[in-house]
A = this chain, B = another copy of it.
Amino acid sequence: MLFQVRMDVCLPHDLDPKTRSEIVAEEKQYAQELQRAGKWPHIWRIVGEYANISVFDVESNDELHALLSGLPLFPYMDIHVTPLATHPSDINA
């Protein structure tokens, strides 16, 4: 079951640089594990913004919230979720 997820990152300017680097590194590792597990099939950077548009593939709303709220950057992001369904014109559907 697919969901579009938009994440806008807003790190405080006075965040300790070491803390910042650690969180960003953890975020990358976390994101890549979910991609390898097939839970996060698409992630794109929005041009010009510290933001991404992603697609998640999960079993349930609860699973999706668990994955998103577990993101190391979760306290510093605005996240918006849009549920997706099969489109009748999709040749792969």
Task: Write the residues of chain A forming the contact surface with B, with a CB cutoff of 8 angstroms.
Answer: 1-5, 12-13, 15, 27-28, 31-32, 35-36, 42-50, 52-53, 55, 60-62, 64-66, 68-69, 75-76, 79-92
A13 to B19, CA, bound (A): 13
Query: Given the complex, which residues of B lie within 8 Å of A36, measured CB to CB?
Result: 91
CB pair B3–A52 under 8 Å, yes or no, is no
Q: Is the CB of A65 within 8 A of B53?
A: no
- Determine if B32 and A82 form an interchain contact, defined as CB atoms under 8 angstroms apart: no
CA distance A52 to B64 in the complex (A): 15
In angstroms, Cα B1 to Cα A62, docked, is: 8
Could you list 20 examples of A-B contacts with CB < 8 Å?
Answer: A1-B60, A2-B61, A3-B61, A13-B75, A35-B89, A35-B91, A42-B42, A43-B89, A44-B84, A45-B65, A45-B84, A45-B88, A46-B82, A46-B85, A47-B61, A47-B85, A48-B64, A48-B65, A48-B79, A48-B80
